[in-house]
């Protein structure tokens, strides 16, 4: 450890610090850029055969092709629709069950036990049963997403309600809030951070489940696009699919974080100026 | 709020406690406490840690109804604790208005915040407040209820010495303006003498000492009477002379 002379600290200026921060952000790109460059060189020299992994340049042109013909958008829309429907239903079910189990004794007894048992089952293990129940239509994919996303929302929301500081409930009594006021002004808002933690998990899981279920039996969706490419050994299209899934995961997580920041302004450490 | 034992009464006494007994399992905490507090009286309750001060306050607040004996308190009560207990997800004004109903509530809440010197923090989030500001907000939340009985459980215990002195002055001012009966639980002997008109000591489950505070008008904290009373109370609390 080296000590910084006091004078230097005094001279630290904000603008310099901001510029350094911008540079730091760019620096995290160095690794990926080097990796892609190596990959391109490997492909160009024949070190990485085309049938193993397409070159980055081929991937880009394949992606451009898919966009131009509209196929990418078409399948992306289908996947998005499935994820959105499944996620909405799953989150709703998880949240409602958590609130009922968290607020009522009978709810706790009735709901929590089964939920704790069911959540031990990986959603994808349900694929055979789901196919028996729903055939191979849209329902299977949506069902799997619903099943997989309800649990993280349930578990985190329920834990947040249970773990609420009992001193707040005591306070509610001293100001005579009443049972309804306690629920509306103390318990539900207090459990919202837990709900959002669950929602973030659920969003990530929804893609995971969709990736797999779309590769098992589908005639549309990004997963289908990739499966189809596999039978023609089009590694470039497969990589395009991977990139799209990655972007979807990143974007949806950003979106949930953004909503979270909007809904829970009181959690922000620094107030915006 | 009104139960048989915990019934609301009018004058003469704001608080009338007779033979209050309270146990936690086998631990007998309050052993027949008798206590009357007159309307508008400012009383401080001293006692060693674990002597049952908070237990007594919680019974008076109606937070604990599992006791033996007779307790009569006014219907309009308010409580403030050592932690400000502001809901982090509500802005300061909404915290103050917690449990308040009607259209006039907001104006009243703002006026009360102004009274405690927090008018400019009405829209602030609780986590942005300092310790002293948090306690001011908690006082506003209590006062907006126009309590006949104000119960304070070590409200300044977590504040630094300077802030505490400011809060003392504020509390005296608010008390003079609103005239509620006050029961201030504290472990700080000097705080008790400086603020209250009457000081009680809780020892082994009973009120073991009940004294009026009579200090000269000028420089009361540096008066002879202050020092004498302080010594007497410390002795009652079991602090040896060499430790004072
Ligand atoms: N909810 C409770 N359950 C069991 N014991 C308690 C409870 N509340 C307080 N006590 C016990 O009662 C005694 C008095 O506590 P308290 O009134 O908080 O003391 P003080 O406020 O004077 O420090 C302590 O010994 C404490 O351990
Ligand atoms: Mg206490």
**Which residue of A164, A169, A170, A171 is the best one to mutate when testing the B interface, meaning the one whose CB has the most B CBs within 10 A?**
A171
A273 occurs within a structural domain: no
The pLDDT of residue A10: 47
A27 pLDDT band, cuts 50/70/90, is confident
Q: Which tens digits make up the pLDDT trace of A58-111?
A: 999 999 999 999 999 999 999 999 999 999 999 999 999 999 999 999 999 999
The pLDDT of residue B220: 86
Tell me, yes or no, whether A202 and A78 share the same domain.
Answer: yes
Tell me, yes or no, whether A42 and A170 share the same domain.
Answer: no
Q: Quick one: which ligand is closest to B52's CA? A: 1
Q: Is the pLDDT of residue B17 over 70?
A: yes
Cβ–Cβ below 8 Å for A192 and B127: no
Tell me, yes or no, whether A98 and A224 share the same domain.
Answer: yes
Cβ–Cβ below 8 Å for B127 and A168: no
Radius of gyration in angstroms for the set of CA atoms belonging to chain B, rounded to a whole number: 18
The pLDDT of residue A273: 39
Cβ–Cβ below 8 Å for B98 and A175: yes
CA of B58 to the centre of ligand 2 (A): 10
DSSP B50: T
Q: Is the pLDDT of residue A42 over 80?
A: yes
Provide mean pLDDT across the span B214-223.
Answer: 87
Last residue in a domain, options A32, A48, A64: A48
A170 occurs within a structural domain: yes
CA closest to B123 among chain A residues: A266
Output the six-digit token pair for A270. 């620094």
The pLDDT of residue A23: 75
CATH number at residue A238: 1.10.3720.10
Tell me, yes or no, whether A59 and A127 share the same domain.
Answer: yes
Tell me, yes or no, whether A62 and A29 share the same domain.
Answer: no
Q: How much is the pTM? A: 0.84
Per mean pLDDT, which range of A159-173, A204-218, B97-111, B200-214 is the poorest? A204-218
A15 pLDDT band, cuts 50/70/90, is low
Inter-residue contact A202 to A153 (CB < 8 Å): yes
CA of B186 to the centre of ligand 1 (A): 15
Q: What is the C-alpha separation between B236 and A62, in angstroms, rounded?
A: 88
Q: What is the C-alpha separation between A76 and A80, in angstroms, rounded?
A: 6
Tell me, yes or no, whether A65 and A200 share the same domain.
Answer: yes
User: Hey, how many other C-beta atoms are within 10 angstroms of the C-beta on A247?
Assistant: 11
Provide mean pLDDT across the span A10-31.
Answer: 72
Q: Is the pLDDT of residue A3 over 60?
A: no
B7 pLDDT band, cuts 50/70/90, is very low
Cβ–Cβ below 8 Å for B145 and A175: yes
Nearest residue (by CA) to ligand 1, atom 7, is B24
Tell me, yes or no, whether A147 and A25 share the same domain.
Answer: no
The answer, for A185 touching chain B at a CB cutoff of 8 Å, is yes
Provide mean pLDDT across the span A237-262.
Answer: 93
The pLDDT of residue A269: 58
Which helix (H) or strand (E) covers residue B96, if one does? Answer: helix B92-96
A245 occurs within a structural domain: yes
Q: Is the pLDDT of residue B45 over 90?
A: yes
The answer, for B136 touching chain A at a CB cutoff of 8 Å, is no
A270 occurs within a structural domain: no
B3 to A50, A173, A219, B37: CA distances (angstroms): 84, 15, 69, 20
Q: Is the pLDDT of residue B244 over 50?
A: yes
Q: Is the pLDDT of residue A166 over 80?
A: yes
Q: Is the pLDDT of residue B127 over 70?
A: yes
Cis peptide leading into B12, omega within 30 of 0? yes
Ligand 1 pocket, mutate which of B21, B24, B65 (most atoms under 8 A from CB): B24
The minimum CA-CA distance between A262 and chain B, rounded to whole Å, is 13
Average pLDDT of chain B?
Answer: 92
A269 occurs within a structural domain: no
Q: Which tens digits make up the pLDDT trace of B143-180?
A: 999 999 999 999 999 999 999 999 999 999 999 999 99
Nearest residue (by CA) to ligand 1, atom 1, is B24
Tell me, yes or no, whether A92 and A123 share the same domain.
Answer: yes
The answer, for A131 touching chain B at a CB cutoff of 8 Å, is no
Cβ–Cβ below 8 Å for B87 and A190: yes
Q: Which tens digits make up the pLDDT trace of A237-247?
A: 999 999 999 99
Q: At which residue do the structure tokens 């610090």 appear?
A: A17
A87 occurs within a structural domain: yes
A6 occurs within a structural domain: yes
The answer, for B145 touching chain A at a CB cutoff of 8 Å, is yes
B103 pLDDT band, cuts 50/70/90, is confident
Domain that holds residue A141: 55-263
User: What is the residue-wise DSSP string for chain A?
Assistant: --PPPHHHHHH--HHHHHHHHHHHHHHTTHHHHHHHHHHHHHHHTTSS-TTT---HHHHHHHHHHHHHHTHHHHHHHHHHHHHHHHHHHHHHHHHHHHHHHHH-HHHIIIIIHHHHHHTTS-GGGGHHHHHHHHTTSHHHHHHHHHHHHHHHHHHHHHHHHHTS-HHHHHHHHHTT-HHHHIIIIIIHHHHHHHHHHHHHHHHHHHHHHHHHHHHHS-SSSHHHHHHHHHHTT-HHHHHHHHHHHHHHHHHHHHHHHHHHHHH-GGG-SS---
Pocket (CB within 6 angstroms of ligand 1): B 24, 29, 47, 49-55
Q: Is the pLDDT of residue A1 over 60?
A: no
Tell me, yes or no, whether A146 and A18 share the same domain.
Answer: no
Q: Is the pLDDT of residue A190 over 90?
A: yes
The minimum CA-CA distance between B89 and chain A, rounded to whole Å, is 6
Q: Quick one: which ligand is closest to A166's CA? A: 1
Inter-residue contact B15 to B73 (CB < 8 Å): yes
Q: Is the pLDDT of residue A188 over 90?
A: yes
The pLDDT of residue A271: 45
Tell me, yes or no, whether A80 and A214 share the same domain.
Answer: yes
Tell me, yes or no, whether A121 and A138 share the same domain.
Answer: yes
Q: How many domains does chain A have?
A: 2
In percent, how much of chain A has pLDDT > 90? 73
B-chain CB neighbours of A185 within 8 Å are 87, 90, 98
DSSP B15: E
Average pLDDT of chain A?
Answer: 89
CA of B67 to the centre of ligand 1 (A): 14
CA of B146 to the centre of ligand 1 (A): 29
The answer, for A190 touching chain B at a CB cutoff of 8 Å, is yes
Torsion of CA A101, B97, A270, A9, to 10 degrees: -130
Tell me, yes or no, whether A43 and A22 share the same domain.
Answer: yes
The answer, for A26 touching chain B at a CB cutoff of 8 Å, is no
In percent, how much of chain B has pLDDT > 70? 95
Cβ–Cβ below 8 Å for B99 and A175: yes
The pLDDT of residue A26: 82
Q: Is the pLDDT of residue A148 over 80?
A: yes
The pLDDT of residue B239: 87
The answer, for A171 touching chain B at a CB cutoff of 8 Å, is yes
Q: Is the pLDDT of residue B2 over 60?
A: no
The minimum CA-CA distance between B99 and chain A, rounded to whole Å, is 5
The answer, for B222 touching chain A at a CB cutoff of 8 Å, is no
Q: Which tens digits make up the pLDDT trace of A74-87?
A: 999 999 999 999 99
The pLDDT of residue B102: 86
A4 occurs within a structural domain: yes
Q: Which tens digits make up the pLDDT trace of B130-153?
A: 999 999 999 999 999 999 999 999
Q: Is the pLDDT of residue A20 over 80?
A: no
B170 to A220, B115, B165, B187, B200: CA distances (angstroms): 70, 9, 9, 19, 22
């Amino acid at each position: 450890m080296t000590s910084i002379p006091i004078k230097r600290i005094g001279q630290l200026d904000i603008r310099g610090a901001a510029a350094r921060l911008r540079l730091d952000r760019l620096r995290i790109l160095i690794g990926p850029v080097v990796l892609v460059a190596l990959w391109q060189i490997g492909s160009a020299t024949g070190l990485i055969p085309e049938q193993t992994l397409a070159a980055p340049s081929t991937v880009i042109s394949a992606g451009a092709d898919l966009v131009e013909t509209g196929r990418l958008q078409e399948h992306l829309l289908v996947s998005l629709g499935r994820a959105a429907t499944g996620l909405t239903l799953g989150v709703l079910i998880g949240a409602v069950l958590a609130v009922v189990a968290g607020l009522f004794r009978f709810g706790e007894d009735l709901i929590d036990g089964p939920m704790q048992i069911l959540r031990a089952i990986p959603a994808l293990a349900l694929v055979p049963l789901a196919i028996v129940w729903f055939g191979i239509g849209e329902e299977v994919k949506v069902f799997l997403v619903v099943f997989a996303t309800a649990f993280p929302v349930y578990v985190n929301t329920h834990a947040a309600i249970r773990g609420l500081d009992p001193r707040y409930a005591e306070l509610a009594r001293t100001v005579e809030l009443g049972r309804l006021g306690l629920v509306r002004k103390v318990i539900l808002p207090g459990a919202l951070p837990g709900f959002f933690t669950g929602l973030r998990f659920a969003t990530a899981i929804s893609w995971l489940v969709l990736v797999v279920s779309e590769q098992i039996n589908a005639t549309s969706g990004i997963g289908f696009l990739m499966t189809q490419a596999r039978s023609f050994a089009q590694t470039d299209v497969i990589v395009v699919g991977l990139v799209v899934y990655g972007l979807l995961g990143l974007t949806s997580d950003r979106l949930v974080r953004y909503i979270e920041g909007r809904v829970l302004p009181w959690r922000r450490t620094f107030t915006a100026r | 709020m009104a139960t048989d034992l915990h019934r609301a009464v009018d004058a003469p006494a704001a608080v009338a406690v007779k033979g209050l007994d309270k146990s936690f399992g086998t631990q007998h905490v309050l052993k027949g406490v008798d206590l009357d507090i007159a309307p508008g009286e400012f009383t401080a309750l001293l006692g060693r840690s674990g002597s049952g001060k908070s237990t007594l306050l919680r019974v008076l607040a109606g937070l604990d109804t599992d006791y033996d004996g007779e307790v009569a308190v006014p219907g309009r009560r308010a409580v403030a604790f050592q932690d400000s207990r502001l809901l982090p997800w509500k802005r300061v004004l909404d915290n103050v208005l917690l449990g308040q109903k009607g259209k006039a509530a907001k104006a009243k809440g703002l006026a009360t915040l102004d009274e405690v010197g927090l008018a400019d923090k009405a829209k602030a989030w609780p986590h942005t407040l300092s310790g002293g500001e948090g306690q001011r907000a908690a006082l506003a939340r209590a006062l907006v209820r126009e309590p006949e009985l104000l119960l304070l459980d070590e409200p300044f215990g977590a504040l630094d010495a300077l802030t505490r002195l400011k809060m003392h002055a504020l509390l005296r001012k608010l008390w003079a303006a609103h005239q509620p009966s006050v029961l201030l639980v504290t472990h700080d002997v000097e705080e008790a003498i400086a603020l209250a008109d009457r000081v009680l000591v809780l020892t082994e489950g009973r009120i073991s000492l009940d004294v009026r505070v009579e200090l000269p008008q000028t420089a009361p904290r540096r008066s002879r009477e202050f020092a004498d009373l302080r010594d007497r109370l410390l002795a009652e609390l079991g602090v040896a002379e060499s430790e004072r």
